[in-house]
Structure 1
Amino acid sequence: MKATFVLLANNELENMGRRIMLEAHKKSKLGFEMARLPHHISLKQPFHIESLEEIENYFDEFVKTLKPIKVILKEVKCYPSSVFGYSSGVMVIEADKSQELQSLHKRLNEELEKIFGECKANFDGDEYIFHMTVAIGGGSFDNYEKALKLLDQQEYDIEVIFNELGLLYYDDDKITPGSYFCYKRVAIV
């Protein structure tokens, strides 16, 4: 099992993400795998867990310590990805690497490790790239690059307030399509 904590998009941002997903698919047949999850910004990539109940208890306490978080979304980019076990791509809207996001990422890593032991995930640390995924898998990286070049708008520079935290659950450590979903949503007040 794996889990991760994410900032969930509001309705306006969710709709924008779905529009970009569809536009990218129409340009280069990328598919709709990302539609399995609500659009979000991960505070940490998926990490192995022993007990969903224990992680959920921590999640419930963690969210009580948060206040709404301002994030600036910058531009659409794509990267190679093999998250599903085959060579493909991922298209994201990168977020400004604010001090607030960096602090939350660091705090989450430190607290999880202190409470649960090693909870290492790919890309943890100072080089972590905050982003909102709009497409993943379903096509070659060449198709991702093609779609990116053909998208109508690649730079956004929009400010969004995130006021909901999500707990994503992955039923297997391989992140097989169809084995994950948003398990829990809680308002940040």
Structure 2
Amino acid sequence: MQASIAFLADYRTQNFVRKVVLDLHRKYSIRFFASLLPAHVSLKQPFEFEDLEKLENYFNYLAAEINPVEIELDKFYHSLWGDFGILALNVKRISKLRKLHYQIDKELNKLFKDPSSPYDGENIIFT
């Protein structure tokens, strides 16, 4: 099985992103899929895990341990993911996100055989 860990955007940000994508689609017939995933900031890219209950317990622990984090977004960018267009807001790198990513990596390595992903450590991309 695979899972990812992310902060989900608030409703205001989510609706803003969907409106921009819908406007672009109406104007340029671009096939963005705004509802494929909710607007989010990835903290851990997809990783393999063996035990769902263990992962759920970890999510509960993590949610209780972290404080709210203000995330600054500064510009749009786009890329492709297979046949899908991705429109995203750039996250200004903040040390709290990087520190949290390293904490998650360290803790997941204690719980699962190989929770690594290509974007761990210095390669993390906050989108």
TM-score under structure 1 length normalisation: 0.61
Give the drift of 1:88. Answer: 4.7
Any unmatched runs of 5+ in structure 1?
Answer: 132-189
Aligned length: 126
* Equivalent position of 2:101 in the other structure: 105
Deviations 1:77-107 (A, max 9, x none): 122333xxxx554221110110000001111
Q: CA-atom RMSD, angstroms?
A: 1.6
Residue type matched to 1:76 in 2?
F
Contact preservation (8 Å) 2:17, 2:39: yes
Residue type matched to 2:31 in 1?
L
Q: Verify: 1:115 aligned to 2:111, yes or no.
A: yes
Mapped to 1, the partners of 2:5 and 2:125 lie a distance apart of 15
Mapped to 2, the partners of 1:64 and 1:20 lie a distance apart of 33
Mapped to 2, the partners of 1:89 and 1:120 lie a distance apart of 26
Give the drift of 1:31. Answer: 3.6
Give the drift of 1:120. Answer: 1.2
Indicate the structure with greater strand content. Answer: 1
* Equivalent position of 1:7 in the other structure: 7
Say which structure, 1 or 2, has more relative contact order (CA 8 Å, 6+ apart): 1
- Return structure 1 stretches of 4+ with deviation > 3 angstroms: none
Q: Verify: 1:49 aligned to 2:49, yes or no.
A: yes
Contact preservation (8 Å) 1:94, 1:129: no
State how 1:1-189 maps to structure 2 within 5 Å.
Answer: 1-26=1-26, 27-32=28-33, 34-82=34-82, 87-131=83-127
Contact preservation (8 Å) 1:97, 1:129: no
Residue type matched to 1:114 in 2?
K
TM-score under structure 2 length normalisation: 0.88
Contact preservation (8 Å) 2:25, 2:32: yes
Residue type matched to 2:114 in 1?
E
1:45 is paired with a residue whose SS is: strand
Indicate the structure with greater helix content. Answer: 2
1:123 is paired with a residue whose SS is: coil
Deviations 1:30-69 (A, max 9, x none): 242x413321111111111212221001110111110000
Any unmatched runs of 5+ in structure 2?
Answer: none
